[in-house]
Amino acid sequence: MIRSFVGIAPPDAVRDRLEDLGLRLEEGRPVPWDNLHLTLAFLGDLTGPALEDVALEIDAIDGPAPEVAIEGVGVFGPAGRPRSAHARVRPTAELSALREAVRRAARRGGRELPRERFVPHVTVARFSGKSPAGEGLARWLAREAAFACAPFRAESLRIWRSDRTEEGPVYTELMETPLA
């Protein structure tokens, strides 16, 4: 089985800024530069042939390249024990439309995805569930509240494989397809 997801990779200069953002957090594990992305759809565990079917449909998406604006920071998880820290991505109609196109493509390829609220973001650090977050996280949230990157066009969609390790997930790009 191949655990995979579809997303957008920010341009290198934006990834540099996001990597620095994660490194400025005094707690947790920063996400490596190569792993920084905006997830549009988590595909879950698929066999090779099933993933190929989905990839063919995603490759056929001919949607416009949405503008992506990164503004602010946040966390996911309960207060005191967050799972991750992230840079927020401004939700837009065109980004949501691209996500829906990805979901429809997955369905045509045989993968029905669960309905979930779309909260666009780029994870910059992960936390262990074993120890509570401390003062460093609160300082980081306050200090980085106005964090922003220059908007960019999402020029392609990518499918990544996600392998779990002791140090955190490792992502391997499997496919890239350009957007119109």
Per-residue pLDDT for 126 more than 80?
yes
Per-residue pLDDT for 80 more than 90?
no
Confidence of residue 130 (pLDDT cuts 50, 70, 90): low
Confidence of residue 117 (pLDDT cuts 50, 70, 90): very high
The stretch 16-34 carries a mean pLDDT of 95
Distance between CA atoms of 26 and 8, rounded to whole angstroms? 27
Instruction: Please report, for the domain that includes residue 145, its CATH number.
Output: 3.90.1140.10
Per-residue pLDDT for 21 more than 80?
yes
Instruction: Record the pTM.
Output: 0.94
Selection from 130, 141, 17 nearest residue 75 by Cα: 141
Which of 61-65, 86-90, 104-108, 114-118 is the least confident region? Answer: 61-65
The stretch 146-162 carries a mean pLDDT of 97
Q: Is 123 within 8 Å of 84 (Cβ atoms)?
A: yes
Per-residue pLDDT for 27 more than 80?
yes
Domain span at 134? 2-178
The stretch 6-34 carries a mean pLDDT of 96
The domain tally of the chain equals 1
Per-residue pLDDT for 98 more than 70?
yes
For residue 148, the 8-state DSSP code is: B
Provide the pLDDT for residue 118. Answer: 95
The stretch 115-128 carries a mean pLDDT of 93
Helix (H/G/I), strand (E/B), else coil: 158: strand
Which of 24-28, 90-94, 116-120, 153-157 is the least confident region? Answer: 24-28
Confidence of residue 136 (pLDDT cuts 50, 70, 90): confident
Provide the pLDDT for residue 132. Answer: 64
What is the residue whose two structure tokens read 């655990």?
A: 3
